Amino acid sequence: MQRLRWKIVGHGLALLATLVLGGLLSATLVRLAPGFDSDERELDPHLNAQSVQALREARRRDDNIFYFYLSYMKRAKSGDLGTSIAMGQPVRTLLQQRIPLTLRLLGAGLGLAWILALTLSLTTAWLRLSIYDAVTTFASAALLCLPAAVLALLSVLWNIPGAIAIALIVFPHTYRYARNLLGKAYSRPHIVAARARGVGEGRILFWHVVPVIAPQLLALAGVSVSMAIGASIPVEALCGLPGIGQLAWQAALGRDLPLLVNITILVTLVTLLANSSADVIGHMLRRQDV
């Protein structure tokens, strides 16, 4: 129990450190990015010399990276994440509007990918037919050779929902790993012996296979969240779905750096939380197994 507590504390500290460091790194990159010092509002003929000077003064304060980041953190604490340059709206409002759709898309996509991967890898392990294994492996390898953006384009062409496109992007990675894990687990001597004695497949799966592979599968679940978030960018951008992925793409095209920094921090937080949760639950399962 003590070790588990320390593990949770360690993950929490790592999360905090990564957020602070990641935020500082993003702020530094934003500050050093070409074009940061220029403001196209200065070209507005309606502004007089004093207004232009005021704009320059406001920017000069951001010259110091640490000041820039500290003031950002202070504002963030009170819920002010800044204003998007390209869209002219508060970043917080933009994120609030788009998070629900992305969550639904990721949830459905990940669910489908996992159902497909586990079903195919389990049937491969049960059937032990080389032709079936070859067909499923070929299908997953073919999907691995397609860029995520092409799958998104094809989903638009064939009127397939975005969640299925995300599932097809994530599926080959999860399937390959799950298939190997199950293959190894089912070739263990005690499972071969149990099968030879006629023990039911369901009993073997839930009593002997799942406890062994659960921690690794959980780790893969954590990684698959990160994969799905990456996949959401081309899927949302090309399928016209107004989620966080599309927002990130629009921010990148418009070089909307304040928005991009906030999305970066949000995505880092989500992926780290997913990986840390998977690690902690996996640790708990291993303890129960011991």
Partner 1 sequence: MRLGRTIACVVLALMFGISVAATWLAPAGYARQYREAIDEPPSHAHWLGTDDLGRDRFARVLYGTRISLLLAPAAALLSTFMAALVGGLAGYLGGAWARFAMAVTDLFMSLPWLFLLITVRALMPLNVSPFVSVLVTFLLLGLLGWTTAARVLCASASSLRSADFVRQARAAGVRGSRLFWVHVAPNLKPVLFAQFWISIPVFILSEANLGILGLGVSEPMPSWGSLLKELEGLVSFGAEPWKFLPLALLVVVVTSFQLLLSRQEELPA
Closest separation between CB of residue 29 and partner 1, Å? 5
Q: How many CB atoms lie within 10 A of CB 142?
A: 10
What is the token pair recorded at 181? Answer: 């894990």
Place of tokens 């406001």: 58
Would you give the DSSP letter of residue 83? B
Residues 6+ apart with CB under 8 A from 141: 172
Nearest CB to partner 1, comparing residues 167 and 191: 167
Residue 44 C-beta: closest distance to partner 1, Å: 21
> Quick one: CA torsion of 174, 226, 275, 10, rounded to 10 degrees?
150
106 or 204: CB nearest partner 1: 106
Smallest gap from Cβ 1 to partner 1, in A, equals 26
Q: Distance of CA 120 to CAs 92, 124, 164, 179, 183, Å?
A: 41, 6, 16, 8, 12
Of residues 28 and 97, the one with the C-beta less far from partner 1: 28
**Amino acid identity, position 195:** R
Residues in Cβ contact with 157 at an 8 Å cutoff, skipping those fewer than 6 apart: none
The 8-class DSSP code of residue 82 comes to: -
Contacts of 265 (CB under 8 A, 6+ apart): 19, 22, 23, 26
DSSP, res 41: G
* Shortest distance in whole angstroms from residue 247 CB to partner 1: 12
Contact residues for partner 1 (CB under 8 A)? Answer: 14, 17-18, 21-22, 25-26, 29-30, 32-35, 141-142, 144-150, 153, 157-158, 226-227, 229-231, 233-234, 237-238, 248-249, 251-253, 255, 257, 260, 264, 267-268, 271-272, 275
Least Å from the CB of residue 118 to partner 1: 22
User: Which residue number, 50 or 158, has a Cβ lying nearer to partner 1?
Assistant: 158
Q: How far is the CB of 271 from partner 1 (least distance, A)?
A: 5
Nearer to partner 1, 22 or 211 (CB): 22
CB nearer partner 1, residue 116 or residue 227: 227
Q: Which amino acid is at 263?
A: I
